[in-house]
Structure 1
C-alpha cells in the first residue's frame, strides 16, 4: 500500500536535487539557448521525468539484461559527472555537438537532467526508500527543473555573466565531489 513519508520524500528530493544540479547547469542551459535559440522546457522536463521513473522500476533489470552490475554503472556515471564538472570548473568544452537543432531530449533531458549520476542515485534510493516517495521526489525535482528551464533568460539577466560564472564554478566543484563520492563508494565493490 502507498505510505507517504515526508522525511523520505524530503531526503530523496535533496539527493536528486544535488545530483541533477539544475542550478549549476544554468550556464550550460544558457549556452544551449544561445546555440539553438529555443529550449523546449516542457518536452525536456516530461522526457526526463519518464526516463527517471522508468529507470526507477526497470533500471536494475535493464543493466542485468546487458550484463552490467549497478556498481559498474555507478563508476561509469561518476566518470561522466567528473568530466562535466571539469568543463564547469575549467571553462573548457569536452563534449561537442556540432549542430544541435533543438534543446530538449538531448542534451537536456538526457544526460543533463536524467543522466548516469541521476540513474545511479535512483537505484541507490530504491534500496533505502519506498518507491512512492521516490516518485514524489522525482516529480518535485522535475517541477523545479521546469521552472529553471522556463526562466533561464530571466536568471541570466539577474545574475549577469560574472554571476553565472561564479555559480558554474561553485557547482562544478560540488559536482566533482559527488563524482568522487560515487566513484569511491562503488569502485571497492567491483574488486
Structure 2
C-alpha cells in the first residue's frame, strides 16, 4: 500500500495543484474556495472509485491487457512529469476570475488535474496489485491531503511562497518520472515473460 500511497501522491500532486487552485480561486471568498475544494475532491473520488470497481472489467471487455494499460499509463505520466520538472506546475494555466466555483472545481481540477488519465490508470493497476480496499484507502488519504491543501491554499501560498512550491513540485515531478518509467518497464517485462 505504501507504493500506492506514494504513487498517488506524486500523480495527484496536492503540492503542485495548490498553485493551480490558488490562481483559479483568487477572486473567490473563503466559502466559495471551500465549496470548490469539496466539489473537486468529491468528484475525483467518485471517478476513481468507479474506475477501481469497474476499470478492470472495462479493460477486459475492450480486450486491453493490464500490461498494455500499465505501459500506456507510464507514457501518459511522462508529459506531466516533464512539465512539473521544467515548469514547476502541472500545466500552463490561465487564471479565470469569471468562472463559478462549480465549473472550476470540475474542470480543470477534478479532471484532468486530480482524476486524470494517470490517476485512473494507476487506480486500475494498484487495484490489481494490492486490492480494492488498499487502493481506495491510499486514494482517500491523498484526496484528504489535497482537500486540506486546497482549503488552506491562501495561507500556504503566503507562508511558503511561490518559489518553494515550485521547487517542491519539481521534486514531485522527478518522483513521477521514476513511477512512469517503472510502469513502462513492468508492463514490457510481463509481456516479454509471457511471449
Shorter-chain TM-score tier:
0.7 to 0.9
Unpaired stretches in structure 1, ≥5 consecutive residues = 1-7
Distance 1:114 1:61, change over 3 A: same
Contact between 1:81 and 1:117, CA under 8 Å: does it hold in 2? yes
What does residue range 120-159 of structure 1 map to in structure 2 within 5 Å?
A: 120-159=121-160
Unaligned runs of 5+ in 2: none
Contact 2:77/2:118, CA 8 A, preserved across alignment: yes
User: Take 2:16 and 2:93, find their aligned partners in 1: how far apart are those partners?
Assistant: 20
CA-to-partner distance for each residue in 1:120-147, whole Å, 9 max, x for gaps? 2222322333433333332222221111
CA RMSD of aligned residues (A): 2.9
| Residue matched to 1:186 | 187
1:66 aligns with 2:58: no
Task: Rate the CA distance shift 1:67–1:115 in 2: closer, same or farther, 3 A.
Answer: same
Count of residue pairs the alignment pairs up: 182
Farther off after superposition, 72-81 or 45-54? 72-81
Partner of 1:4: none
Q: Retained in 2: the 8 A contact 1:76–1:116?
A: no
More helix by share: 2
Residue 28 of structure 1 aligns with which residue? Answer: 20
Kept after mapping to 1: 8 A contact 2:45/2:140 = yes
**Cα deviations by residue, 1:76-126 (Å, 9 ceiling, x for unpaired):** 222332111211222299966779643212222122222222222222322
Per-residue deviation, residues 7-34 of structure 1 (Å, max 9, x unmatched): x5x6643443233221233333334445
Of 23, 40, 43, the residue aligned with 2:39 is 43
